[in-house]
Amino acid sequence: MTDMYWDRWIRKIFEEIEEEFKRMERMLDKEFSSMKVGETFGPYVYGFSITMGPEGKPVVRTFGNIPPVQEVEGFRTPFVDVMVDEKTNEVKVIAEMPGVDKNDIDLRATEKRVDIRAERGDRKYKASVDLPIEVDVKSAKARYNNGVLEVTFKAKREVRPSGTKINIE
């Protein structure tokens, strides 16, 4: 009698696992079927290198096109990208924060930094972004659409390409 009970119990566990896999497969099929023809992914790369720096201390450098997702004080660090547009003399900060409403976002800026914080239920985001050049805070325009926050600033001074072009032989 005990063996039959355990057989049914184990069979039930495996059936539940199989049903969960089927549910995930349906979800993935739905996501991939909504993709546009020719739409591609990646490649996504993230890594780090460790070298010995001055005074024998290790120096960790990250590389790739995906920043690590970090959690600080229960807040998740959103994916953030900062772009300088030389043509329009603007700086754009783009942060991905799905699952919150625009009213949940607290956005603050100085000439050199943007602080982003958002909370809605279990969705909590927090980031401090250093800007590559000084901006005019009063020129800030922010939009939030489909989980993406975009903040645009006018640069305080004209943005010019950095450095001198060197020809390669």
Q: For 78, list phi and psi in degrees, rounded to 5.
A: -70, 160
**Rg for the chain, CA atoms, rounded:** 24
pLDDT in tens, 78-107: 888 888 888 888 999 999 999 999 999 999
**pTM of the model as a whole:** 0.56
Q: At 36, is the secondary structure helix, strand, or coil? A: coil
pLDDT at residue 155 above 80? yes
**CA 97/CA 143 separation, integer angstroms:** 12
pLDDT at residue 60 greater than cutoff 80: no
Domain coordinates of the chain in residue numbers? 1-34, 70-155
139 and 161 Cβ atoms separated by less than 8 Å: no
Phi, psi (deg, nearest 5) at residue 26: -60, -40
* Alpha-carbon span 155 to 111, nearest angstrom: 9
pLDDT band at 2 (very low <50, low <70, confident <90, very high): low
Closest by CA to 88, choosing from 143, 139, 20, is 139
Query: Amino acid identity, residue 130?
Result: D
Can you tell me the distance from the alpha carbon of 23 to that of 66, in angstroms, rounded to the nearest whole number? 28
115's CB contacts (< 8 A; 6+ apart) are 106, 107, 108, 109, 127, 128, 129
Secondary structure letter of residue 88 according to DSSP: T
- Encoded tokens for 125: 């985001």
Q: Which fold has domain 70-155?
A: Immunoglobulin-like (2.60.40)
Q: What is the pLDDT of residues 145-154, one digit of tens each?
A: 999 999 999 9
